[in-house]
Every structure is written in C-alpha cells, then in structure tokens.
Amino acid sequence: MHEDGLRDMSIEVIKPGLLSTLQDAGRRGYAALGVGRAGAMDESSWRLANALVGNRNGEAALEITLAGPTLRFRQDAVIAVTGGIIDARADDQQLLPWTSCLLPAGTLLRFGGMQHGCRSYLAVRGGFDAAPVLGSRSTDLHACIGPMDGRSIQAGDVLTVGEHATAPWFHSRKHVQALRWSLDPQPWLDYAQAPLALMRGDHYAALDDASQRALFAQRFSISKDSNRTGSRMDGTPLQLREPLELISEATLPGTLQLPPSGQPILLQVEAPVTGGYPRVGQLAAVDLPRMAQRRPGDAVYFRETSMDEAFQRLRECEESLRCLLQHIEQRLESS
C-alpha cells in the first residue's frame, strides 16, 4: 500500500462480502459481438442511490449481494445505500438506509446481513472510478470484462472515487451523520412479493396443456444455483408436447428459457446473448428489478400480461422514477 502517495479519494476493501461488484447502467450496443449488458440488476435502486448522493451521470455503484463488505474510507465521503435493506454500521453508528450519509475520513463501514431483498446499492458521491470498458463501468463476471478485470471485489482492493465537489447539504465533516429524511423503499422493494408479469414467449404454445396452465398458476421457488447470469426456478417441471430442435438465436434479460430438465431459467443481465432453449416467456421489463430482489428460496408466481400492458407499466414506472429523481435533487439543494 502506498498510503501517503494516495491523494485521491479511495476506499480500502477490508472484507469483500458474499459478492460485491461495481455496476452502472450496463453495456449497450455490443450484443452482435457476443457482449451482454451486465449492469445493475435492480436498475431503479441503483439510480436512486446515485440520486441520493447527487450523482447525475450514471456513475458506478457497488452492488452488494445478501451479505455486505467491510470498507475503510480514507477520505470524507457522502454515501447512500438503497435496494435490499441491509445492516450497515459506520464505526459504531447504525446507518439509515435509503438516505444520504456523510462519513468522515477513517470511517470503517461494516455491512452485515440483508433483512429484505437480495441486492443493495452503495453509491458514493463522485461515483466509483474505473476505466470504462466498451462504454461501461459494469462488471461482467461471466464474460470477465469491466472493473477489476471482471471480478468481484476482494480484500485488499482499493476502490477509487471520481472527483466531486463537496456535498453542500452536510455542513460539518467531523462526525458520521445522515439527512433527516429518507426515501420510502416500499414501492421499489415489493415486500409483498406480488406475482411478476410475464408475456407468453415464442414457444409457449409448444408446452403441453398442463404446463401452459402451470406456468401462470404454480409456485416456483428460486434455486440456490441462481446468479447474475440467470435465476433457476424450482417447481413441478414444465413439459413440451414434443421435443423441439431449435437453433441458437438472440436472448434478452428477462427471457424465460426451458432447458430439458423442465426447470425454467429466467435469464439475467449477464446471460449469453444467444441461446438454443425454448423461450416460454418474457418478463415485463418493469418487473426485472423486483425479480432481482428475490433471493434463493423465495417464491415466484407469474401472472400473464400483454405487450401493451407491460409497456404502459414501464412508462408509468419511468415517469414516477423521474419525478422522484427530480424531487430528490430539489430536496438536496434545499437541505
């Protein structure tokens, strides 16, 4: 370590947590070269975390999975934690989730377990700095590209933070503090785990009658073999009327594939961009962040939706998110 040489803002990783990766909006436009999107799995929470620290340019944040890291801040920092509700202590002080906090230089930020959800987002004012790869600071663990050469953070890593002005809403920098207001995670975290909206896929009609009904009626549970590539669904296996011989074609995040085992896989942000399994469904894009917050063992029910309904909900969600982002910006200015 070259402590005295580091004038820039940096954060030392003491413990990495279960799986913590730097993520932004993801890599777009390279699917034809076999490069997937990656990026934050719960994009809404990632955007809100950035907004709470005053970042406006899609800065990279740390996506924390189920159990969080321990980080030493070498400089003052303004942070926010959104997404799954996770235990976070700055030195000995419990930190409020979904709000803006100030950590003075030297603070040890210790994350514990997650009480709700599966993925939390730690944003820091100025954004985590890393050289963009193919236009993005997202970690693609599957393709091994992005920050840290495409791996999750490890003990001993030093994360740097981009340049930023100080946050005007914190007047003193002497002690750990938080704003007096926080966001309501309720609409974003889906505590009730409502059914997720699924459109029929190209090969839905190839399912036998019982499986067509079961897809929209049975309880699936998320397998422990799930990751940023895909969520495997345990349940009564779905059957095709007869085997399909398919050739590989494009797939998307949210595609529900059916491998021969009959246990569907919901493709996630790091899935290969082509695949050869039948596509029995496509998750409404607006429900991708909700899916990202389900953890292994959680139940999933699908309800049928149409393309029109899926798009209307996406638009409405985007509109309310924009309103909220604007509201946060104004509120920070007047804090």
Residue number with CB closer to another protein (120 or 136):
136
Smallest gap from residue 216 Cβ to another protein (A): 18
Closest distance to another protein from the beta carbon of 286 (Å): 9
Work out the burial of residue 58: count CB atoms within 10 Å of its CB; fewer than 13 is exposed, 13-18 middle, 19 or more buried.
Answer: middle
Q: Can you tell me the distance from the alpha carbon of 100 to that of 91, in angstroms, rounded to the nearest whole number? A: 17
Nearest approach, Cβ of residue 137 and another protein (Å): 12
248 binds another protein (CB under 8 A): yes
Is 282 one of the binding residues for another protein (CB under 8 A)?
A: yes
Regarding 213 and contact with another protein (CB under 8 A), the answer is no
Residue among 18, 28, 56, 241 that touches another protein (CB under 8 A): 28
Between residue 165 and residue 194, which ones bind another protein under the rule CB under 8 A? none
Strand bridging mode 108-124 / 77-90:
antiparallel
Say how many CA atoms lie within 13 Å of 202 toward its Cβ. 11
Residue 31 Cβ, how far from another protein at the closest point, in Å?
4
Q: Which residues of 302-327 are buried (b: 16+ CB within 10 A; e: fewer)?
A: beebeeeebeebeeebeeebeebeee
Does 22 help bind another protein (rule: CB under 8 A)?
A: no
Structure tokens at 32: 């034809």
Cβ distance to another protein smaller for residue 54 or 275: 275
With CB under 8 A as the contact rule, the residue among 26, 39, 254, 278 that binds another protein is 254
Structure token pair of residue 177? 């503090």
Residues 82, 156 contacting (CB under 8 angstroms): no
Nearest one of 291, 269, 329, 94 to 321, comparing CA atoms? 329
Residue 222: name the closest of 282, 305, 302 by CA.
302
- Tell me: does residue 44 bind another protein (CB under 8 A): no
Interface characters, 227-246, with another protein (x: CB under 8 A): -------------------x
Q: Is 285 in the site for another protein (CB under 8 A)?
A: yes
Q: Does 126 bind another protein (CB under 8 A)?
A: no
Locate 155 and state its tokens.
């003990």
Region of 255 (left: φ > 0; alpha: ψ -120 to 50; beta: rest) is beta
* By the rule CB under 8 A, 32 interacts with another protein: yes
Contact set with another protein (CB under 8 A): 28-35, 133-134, 142-145, 199, 202, 246-250, 252, 254-255, 272-274, 279, 282, 284-285, 307-308, 310-312, 314-315
